[in-house]
Structure 1
Amino acid sequence: MAKIDNLLATIDMESISDIHITSGLPPMSREDGKLIKVNEDPISFEIVEEYIKDLVPDKYQIFKEKGEIDFKYNNPEIGNFRVNAYKCRKSNGIVMRVIKSDIPKISDITDANASVLKKFTELKDGLVLVTGPTGSGKSTTLAAMINEINNTKEKHIITLEEPIEYIFETKKCMINQREIGEDTFSYASGLKAALRQDPDIIMLGEMRDKETIEIALRAAQTGHLVFSTLHNMGAVASIYRIINSFEASHQNEVRIQLSSFLRGVISQVLLSNEIGIGRTAAMEIMICTQSIQNLIREGNYEQINSFIQMGSKYGMQTIGMDLKRLVNSGTISKEEYGNWVNQNMQSV
C-alpha cells in the first residue's frame, strides 16, 4: 500500500478527473471543471516528497535530475492513474489523472445528438474529428463512440493515446490500446505501425503535427475508419487547421484529399448545468455532404457554416443552435449561455 493511498481513499473518483497535490497547499480535485479542496489541511514538502519516493522509488533520481516525471499508478481498490510529478520553485507537485474504466454511452453524453453520433460509428472508412478546447470532453466522446462500435461490431480497433484515459474491455471488437511514450515513440510512428497491423478502425488521441495528419489521411484513403481530435473550436476552424499545417504548394492536394475522405466534425464545449451539478456537452455537427465536399475542394470555407445551419435534415447544427436548444430545455441557464458567447466573442 502506497503512502498516498490514505489520501486517495477519501476522494470520490467517480465524480472527478484530476487530483492536485502541491507542497504547502491543501489537496484539490477537479470536478465539473472546477478545482475543489479535498480538505483544509496543507500538505508539507516532506510528505509530498515521500509520496513521490514511494510511488516511483526506481525513478526518483530521474525526477530529482529532470524536475519532472510521468508514470502510472494502479490500486485495484482505489483506481488507475496517470501521474505527473514535478518541481516548482522550492516545492513539489503531483497531478494524478483518473483513468476511467466506466465508459459512458453516447446517449449519456448527448441524448439529443446520439443518433447522429451513432451514424459516424457505422461508417466503413474516412476521417471523423472530435474537436474543442482543452477540457471540453473530446476524449470522453471519442471513447463513447469507440465503445459503441465495441458493443455492436466485430472489428479490430487500434488506439494511440497520450495518455490512455479509458480502458476498453473486449466485447465484440479486438481493441489494442497503445500509449505514446510507453508503447510507441510518437503518434506518427505508432500510426505508421498501425497500418501494418490489419486495423479496421484507428483512434488517434490527437493530430498534433503535419506528419501525423498526412498518415491519418492516408489511412482514411486506404479503407480505414480514423477517429481523432483537434484542439480548436468549430468545424470550419478544424478544416483551416488541417490545411494550414501544410506548405502552400501542397494545400490544394490536401484540400482534395480532405474533401474526399473527411466524413464529419463534432466540435464541442462543456457548460455547467442549470441545477448546479454536472456539465453538458453543446455540439456543433458538420456532416460532409456533397455540397460541403465541393466547398472544401474549392477552398470556399466561409460558406460552410451556412450549409451547416441549413443542414438539420442531415443532423447538422451550429454550436449556437445546440446552445439555444439547451437553454430552451432548461438544461443550461441563460447566464451560462451568455457567458460562453461573451468569452468566445462570436455570434451564435
Structure 2
Amino acid sequence: MLTETEIKKIVKSLAFLEPGISDIFILSGYPFQIMVYGRMKNAFLSDYPVEVLNPFQAEEIAFVMLRDKPFLFKKLLQDGYADFSFFLDDDTRFRVNIFSRQKTYNIIMRKLESKVKSIEELSLPQVFYKIANEKFGIILVTGATGQGKTTSLAAILNEINKNEPVHILTLEDPIEYLHKPIRATINQRELGTDFSSYAEGLRAALREAPHVILVGEIRDRETMDIALTAAETGHLVFSTLHTIGAGQTINRIIGFYDKDEENQIRQRLSSALRWVVGQKLLPKIGGGRVAVFDILYNNLRSKEIIMTGESEGRTFYDIMTQGGPFGMRTFDQNLIELYDQGLIEEDIAYYHALRKDIVGRQIELIKKQKRREETPTNLEILGKGVK
C-alpha cells in the first residue's frame, strides 16, 4: 500500500520532469503520462517503474488522495467524478479530477501556478485593465477546459486587489490561485468544503457584503439567475462558461430559460452584461503556447442585438470586427496579428479561424507583403549594382 508521502514523491517527479508540463495523467491501462505545451507524452519513473498502470495501482493512488475527503468518496460513487485541490510539501498545487471509466478510477492533475501573475506579466490585452475597473455588472470569460480562463480571471482579480479597498468573494471548484490581500479583503470558498453548489454559494454570498464575486463556472439556470440578480443589484460578477465566441455564449445563456421567458432574459442580459471574453491557447512557434482572444463589449449596438437576436449584417462578429476603439476584437483578427508577428503557423491560424475565407485572404496578403520585402533591391548585372 502506497503512503501519502510516496504518492507526493511520484507526483513531484512527474510534475518536474521537464519544462512546460501542465497536466499529469494517472490512467488505468496506460503508463504515467504528462502534457507538455499541449502535447501528450509517456513518462517513466525509475523510482516507480511501471510499463502500464493496472486498475489497482490507479485506484490506490486515487483513494489515498481522497483519504481525508470522505464527502468526495460519496460524490465519486454517485456522480462518477470528484474535483479537489492537492498540495505537495513545497506548496506546489494541483487541481485534481478523479473519474470512473469502465469500473476503474483514473486521475488527471492540472499543475497550478504558485504565484498569481499580473495582466502585464501574462501579456494580456490592454483592455483587461478596463475590465478590472468595472464597478458592477457581469463579465464572462469563455472557452474550453485548459485554455487559461482561470489564469486570466486571477490576473483581473489581482489588479482589483492592488487598487481597490473592496470585499472580493470567490466560489471555486477547487480553489486554484491563492490571493493574498493587498488593498482588498478576500474570502475564497471551495465547492464541497465550504458550500454545496454554486447556486447555494452565490445565494449566501449576497448576504456577505461583497463588492466583487467570482463564480468558478455557471452550469445551470439557477446559478445564472442569481448571478444576474447580483449584477443587477450593484455587484461586479465574474464567471466562466464553456462556450466559444460571444454569439454562442449569449445563446447558451438564453437556452437556460424557457421560450416564454426569452424576452425577459434578453432584457436582463442586455442591461447586466458588461464583457464577454473568449480565450484559446495555441501552439507557439519555437515552443510553448500563446493566447488568442475574442472580446465583446456591451455597447449600444451589442445591447440591441442581445435584445433582438443576430441577423444578416447585424452579428456580434460584425460588432467585434468594427469595435477596436472599444477594445473589442474577434478571434480571426487576433489570429491574423499573431501570424503576422511570426508567433503561430499558417495552418494553426487557418484551423482555428471562425471565418476561414477572411483569415485565408489576410494570410495571403501578409505572405505577398513579406515576399515583396524580401525581394533584393540591388541586382548585380555585369558586376555593377543597378537599382
**Both structures adopt the same fold (TM-score exceeding 0.5):** yes
Q: Which amino acid aligns with 1:140?
A: T
Classify the secondary structure of the residue corresponding to 1:10.
helix
1:337 to 322, 335, 349: 349
Separation in 2 of the partners of 1:48 and 1:288? Answer: 47
1: distance between equivalents of 2:190 and 2:8? 25
2:328 aligned with 1:323:
no
Partner of 2:196: 185
Equivalence map 1:134-149=2 (5 Å): 134-149=145-160
Question: How far did residue 24 of structure 1 move?
Answer: 4.5
* Corresponding residue to 2:186 among 172, 175, 179: 175
Give the one of 25, 46, 51 matched to 1:42: 51
- The alpha carbon displacement at 1:203 in A equals 0.7
The letter for the 1-side match of 2:22 is S
Residue 142 of structure 2 aligns with which residue? 131
**Equivalence for 1:232:** 243
Q: Which is bigger in relative contact order (C-alpha 8 A, separation at least 6)? A: 1
**Alignment-derived partner of residue 280 in structure 1:** 290
**Once the 2 structures are TM-superposed, how far is the Cα of residue 188 of structure 1 from its aligned partner?**
0.6
Q: Please state how far the C-alpha of 1:345 moved relative to its aligned partner.
A: 7.1
What aligned pairs does 1:175-324 form with structure 2 within 5 A after superposition? Answer: 175-275=186-286, 277-300=287-310, 302-324=314-336
Contact 2:285–2:344 (CA<8 Å) still a contact in 1? yes
Q: Are residues 1:55 and 2:65 paired?
A: yes
Aligned length: 344
Correspondence for 2:96 among 50, 72, 83: 83
1:88–1:242 distance in 2 versus 1, CA, 3 Å: closer
Change (3 A) 1:246 1:347: farther
In the alignment, which residue of structure 1 is the partner of 2:6? 3
Report the alpha carbon displacement of residue 205 of structure 1 after superposing the two structures with TM.
1.1
| Structure 1, 125-134 or 47-56: larger mean CA deviation | 47-56
Q: Deviations over 1:81-107 (max 9, x none)?
A: 343444544654222233433122223
Shift of 1:124: 0.7
Shift of 1:43: 5.1
Aligned to 1:109: 122
**How much identity, in percent, do the aligned residues show?**
37
In 2, distance between residues paired with 1:341 and 1:312? 18
1:238 partner letter? T
**Distance across 2 between alignment mates of 1:49 and 1:240:** 40
- Which runs of structure 1 show a deviation greater than 6 angstroms over 4 or more consecutive aligned residues? 63-67
Cα distance between partner residues in 2 of 1:331 and 1:90: 43
Q: Which runs of 5+ in 2 are unaligned?
A: 360-387
Classify the secondary structure of the residue corresponding to 1:206: coil
* 1:52–1:286 CA distance, 2 compared to 1 (3 A): closer
Distance 1:65 1:131 in 2: 30
1:98 counterpart letter in structure 2: K
Native 8 Å contact 1:274 1:333 kept in 2: yes
CA contact (8 A) 2:142 2:278 kept: yes
Alpha-carbon distance in 1 for matches of 2:81, 2:340: 47
Aligned AA (1:147)? N
CA contact (8 A) 1:33 1:135 kept: no
Displacement of 1:165 in angstroms is 1.8
Query: Which residue matches 1:26?
Result: 31
CA distance in 2, matches of 1:55, 1:163: 14
SS in 2 for 1:11: helix
Determine helix, strand or coil for the equivalent of 2:14. Answer: coil
Once structures 1 and 2 are overlaid, which stretch shifts more, 75-84 or 27-36?
75-84
Question: Normalised by the size of structure 2, how large is the TM-score?
Answer: 0.81
CA RMSD, 1 decimal: 2.6
Q: 1:260 and 1:37, CA in 2 relative to 1: closer, same or farther beyond 3 A?
A: same
| Deviation, structure 1 residue 37 | 2.2
Describe the shift of the 1:84–1:241 C-alpha distance in structure 2 as closer, same or farther (beyond 3 A).
closer
Decide whether aligned partners of structure 1 residues 10 and 258 sit closer, same or farther in structure 2, where only a CA change above 3 A counts. Answer: same
Answer yes or no: is the 8 Å Cα contact 1:3–1:51 preserved in 2. no
The worse-fitting range, judged by mean Cα deviation, of 26-35 and 244-253 is 26-35
| Structure 1 unaligned regions, length at least 5 | none
When residues 261 and 346 of structure 1 are mapped into structure 2, their CA distance, relative to the original with a 3 A threshold, is farther
Show CA shifts across 1:40-85 (max 9, x none): 7425435445434543446689489667655543223262234344
Q: Spell out, residue by residue over 1:182-233, the C-alpha distance to the aligned partner (whole angstroms, 9 max, x if none).
A: 2111111111000000000011111111111111111111000011111111
Q: Deviations over 1:293-346 (max 9, x none)?
A: 12222334643321211111111111100110000011111121123238x978
C-alpha distance in structure 2 between counterparts of 1:47 and 1:203, whole Å:
37
Contact 1:29 1:37 in 2 (8 A): yes
Once the two structures are TM-superposed, the CA of residue 32 in structure 1 deviates from its matched residue by: 2.1
Which deviates further from its counterpart, 187-196 or 158-167? Answer: 158-167
Tell me, yes or no, if the aligned pair for 1:8 and 1:78 is still in contact at 8 Å.
no
* Structure showing greater Rg: 2
Residue aligning to 2:113: 100
